[in-house]
A = this chain, B = another copy of it.
Amino acid sequence: EDVVVHKVSAADDPFGKDPERHPALIVNSAKPYNAEPPPDLLIDAGFTTPNEIHYKRNHLPVPEIDPETYRLQVEVEGKQCVRLSLEDLKMKFPHYRVAATIQCAGNRREEMMAVKPVRGLSWGLGAISTTEWTGVRLRDVLAYAGFDLNEDGPLQHVQFEGLDRDMTQAYGGSIPVHKAVDPHGDVLLAFEMNGEPLPRDHGFPVRVVVPGVVGARSVKWLGKIIASTGESQNHWQQKDYKGFSPSVDWDTVDFSTAPAIQELPVVSAICAPTAHALVSAHEDTIPVRGYAWSGGGRGIVRVDVTADGGATWHTAQLAPPEGQPLHRAWAWTLWEAEVPVPEGARGKEGAKLEIACKATDASYNTQPELAAPIWNLRGVLTNHWHRVPLVVSDEE
């Protein structure tokens, strides 16, 4: 479940010290705070999403961390543990800047909930955002702490522990070591977001950014790193953020049978026009804009848009991320298309139509048509074609 309801008096409210947020965000949960930008705001912002409208996905209260006393513990199992201040991190290691899209496993969940209820926050299509992150490489920090980058040894996982916690647990997760140490994997310990210090909602003073991987592993408010023989035993690694068959329900689910989500499948969405928008009866085409992205650094090679249920497809113009080749494309591809209004609807006041999009990534993976066959009890991994209903109108 996404949210544990905390019953407390106002004075003891663990969320009482959460930061202020932008009023335009759509709030899916107030405590912990989970919110997304509306689709048109997201797309109008362009390639990088301004920090204040970047989607916020908090599992627990936002911790208050003093950057002066902050220490990051780095442990390589079988070696000593090192402690690094924020200053150490910034001074001891080269800085890197990486444009990366982060997407919540639950993005577009509301479309899956329309098939059958699931447990989870009702995210629209805005639980995805793109940032220019600045930080140091995880692999450099691991090497500093004694990890042998060239050895393919028993330490197969890198665990992260957050400093966000409640009475019973902290947030945490892990990634496979091959991703952590890959010189082309671009995993950062970030301290800047679009050129500013990380906002409190995004992990101040230091967070992990794992490009190409589900947002859940980009642990915020990073307290500890452990290079380990085993995966993180954290709740959100073991008992959540996994995919199951549509026929598995909460009575039959065995979380140990599925791997923790790491790379995400290819996805796309139409951000403009928005649902139930009016199409002018005087126009022959509809300008359509949206995003497409895939996990594992797989760039987007094509986006197809249809206004007639898939009878004809229109290939969108792509704006791929600059300087990111097809095998290392961590950031989304924004796209636009001029889609002809189908003849049956053209100029007809009140006619209804539906536009839909699907993307293809560099491995030529595509999106499935429907939500039902990918439905899962936790409502993650929603990546079927995105559909937007529209109405033709005479109004100017």
0 or 1 for each of A363-396: is its CB under 8 Å from B? (1 = yes): 1111111101110000001000000000000000
Report the minimum CB–CB distance from A91 to chain B (whole Å): 26
Interface contact B315-A245, CB-CB below 8 Å? yes
> Any chain B CB within 8 A of the CB of A17?
no
Interface contact B304-A245, CB-CB below 8 Å? yes
Copies in the assembly, this chain: 2
Interface contact A358-B381, CB-CB below 8 Å? no
> Any chain B CB within 8 A of the CB of A246?
yes
Interface contact B363-A245, CB-CB below 8 Å? no
> Any chain B CB within 8 A of the CB of A102?
no
- CB nearest neighbor in B for A328: B178
> Any chain B CB within 8 A of the CB of A301?
yes
> Any chain B CB within 8 A of the CB of A121?
no
* Binding stretch for chain B, among A6-14, A78-86, A255-263, A283-291: A255-263
Interface contact B302-A245, CB-CB below 8 Å? yes
CA of A326 to CA of B259, assembled, Å: 9
Name the contact of A373 in the complex, choosing from B262, B358, B362, B365 (C-beta under 8 A).
Answer: B358
CA of A327 to CA of B179, assembled, Å: 10
* Binding stretch for chain B, among A41-49, A127-135, A306-314: A306-314
Say whether chain A's binding surface is mostly helix, strand, loop, or mixed: loop
Residues of B within 8 A of A245 (CB): 302, 304, 313, 315
Interface contact A265-B364, CB-CB below 8 Å? yes
Interface contact B381-A247, CB-CB below 8 Å? no
0 or 1 for each of A243-283: is its CB under 8 Å from B? (1 = yes): 11111100000000011011111100000000000000000
CA of A266 to CA of B296, assembled, Å: 14
Name the contact of A302 in the complex, choosing from B179, B258, B372 (C-beta under 8 A).
Answer: B258
Interface residues of A in 208-255 (CB under 8 A from B): 243-248
Name the contact of A243 in the complex, choosing from B184, B247, B364 (C-beta under 8 A).
Answer: B364
> Any chain B CB within 8 A of the CB of A360?
yes
Report the minimum CB–CB distance from A389 to chain B (whole Å): 19
Interface contact B259-A301, CB-CB below 8 Å? yes
Interface contact A367-B364, CB-CB below 8 Å? no
Residues of B within 8 A of A258 (CB): 301-302
Residues of B within 8 A of A176 (CB): 325, 327
Interface contact A264-B373, CB-CB below 8 Å? no
Interface residues of A in 286-337 (CB under 8 A from B): 295-296, 298, 301-302, 304, 310, 312-315, 325-328
User: What are 22 A-B contacts defined by CB distance under 8 Å?
Assistant: A178-B184, A178-B328, A243-B301, A243-B364, A244-B302, A245-B302, A245-B304, A246-B304, A246-B310, A247-B304, A262-B363, A263-B364, A265-B364, A265-B365, A266-B365, A296-B296, A358-B373, A366-B373, A368-B368, A368-B369, A369-B370, A369-B373
Binding site for B on A (CB under 8 A): 176, 178-179, 184, 243-248, 258-259, 261-266, 295-296, 298, 301-302, 304, 310, 312-315, 325-328, 358, 360, 362-370, 372-374, 381
A-B pairs, top 9 by smallest CB distance, nearest first, are A263-B363, A265-B365, A247-B313, A365-B365, A245-B313, A368-B368, A265-B364, A364-B381, A245-B304
**Interface contacts beyond A262-B362, A364-B381: sample of 10 additional A-B pairs, CB < 8 Å, sorted by A:** A176-B325, A246-B313, A247-B315, A263-B364, A265-B363, A265-B366, A296-B363, A365-B365, A366-B368, A366-B373
